[in-house]
Chains A and B, each alone.
Chain A
Amino acid sequence: GNSVTQMEGPVTLSEEAFLTINCTYTATGYPSLFWYVQYPGEGLQLLLKATKADDKGSNKGFEATYRKETTSFHLEKGSVQVSDSAVYFCALSRGGDDKIIFGKGTRLHILP
């Protein structure tokens, strides 16, 4: 079946450090891939997405590239800020009536 595996947290970094949160997926066909972010006390927000192989999604300095050969969609940011502290969810969807499948989430702490 379809599934998403992301690195376990928490991840703790100092401000301005480089961030990578790993995400790999298992799916039939050609799913769309997403990163959602959940700030404290809030619901999830779509951070970025990619709908086909080699696409790069980007938003707020975050990037992720859809790698079909490695079935990965790793989230990266060159210089994190304290305000990036949140929980990040990798997800996939095959579209149509298929539901979104979420990873278990990775909590990120950024220290000033």
Chain B
Amino acid sequence: EADIYQTPRYLVIGTGKKITLECSQTMGHDKMYWYQQDPGMELHLIHYSYGVNSTEKGDLSSESTVSRIRTEHFPLTLESARPSHTSQYLCASSPLVGDQYFGPGTRLLVL
């Protein structure tokens, strides 16, 4: 059973607010990822990290930022939320060699 957690599960917030989506894993995985999932289901990689103090942008350009200060924690921040940021955000982790495990997701609605 994978132990990867995301909070909040649902968030409704007004335009211009700063938000942080939390992601934590207790498996000691080096690699962590953030995906944005559009209503058509397709997954888009927006950020990834291969270890502490390592972060990279993914395939889809995003106005969000991430940090990796601790192995188990990979938060995603939007400095000023906009309606175009409305989406589902999925966090995942994996060991250096091995399968990816996903969290339950955060569904974000920006009004």
Contact = CB atoms under 8 A, between A and B. Distances in A.
Interface of B: 4, 6, 33, 40-43, 45, 48, 50, 58, 90, 92, 97, 99-105
Nearest to A49: B99
A108 to B, nearest CB: 12
Contacts of B48: 99
Nearest to B59: A99
A43 B103 contact: yes
Contact of B90 (A43, A96, A104): A43
A99 B100 CA distance: 10
Interface in A12-56: 34, 36, 38, 41-46, 49
A44 B42 CA distance: 12
Q: Sort A-B residue pairs by CB-CB distance and give the 9 closest, nearest first.
A: A43-B102, A105-B41, A44-B102, A104-B42, A43-B104, A102-B43, A43-B105, A43-B103, A46-B99
Contact of B50 (A46, A97, A102): A97
Given A49-B99, A99-B48, A42 B42 contact: no
Contacts of A45: 102
A89 B102 CA distance: 13
Contacts of B99: 34, 46, 49
A104 B105 CA distance: 18
Given A42-B104, A43-B104, A95 B97 contact: yes
Contacts of A42: 104-105
Contact of A89 (B33, B43, B50): B43
A84 to B, nearest CB: 16
Contact of A87 (B41, B50, B92, B100): B41
B104 A100 contact: no
Contacts of A74: none
Given A44-B102, A105-B43, 19 more contacts: A34-B99, A38-B41, A41-B105, A42-B104, A43-B4, A43-B102, A43-B105, A44-B92, A45-B102, A46-B101, A49-B99, A87-B41, A89-B43, A97-B50, A99-B45, A99-B48, A99-B58, A100-B100, A107-B41
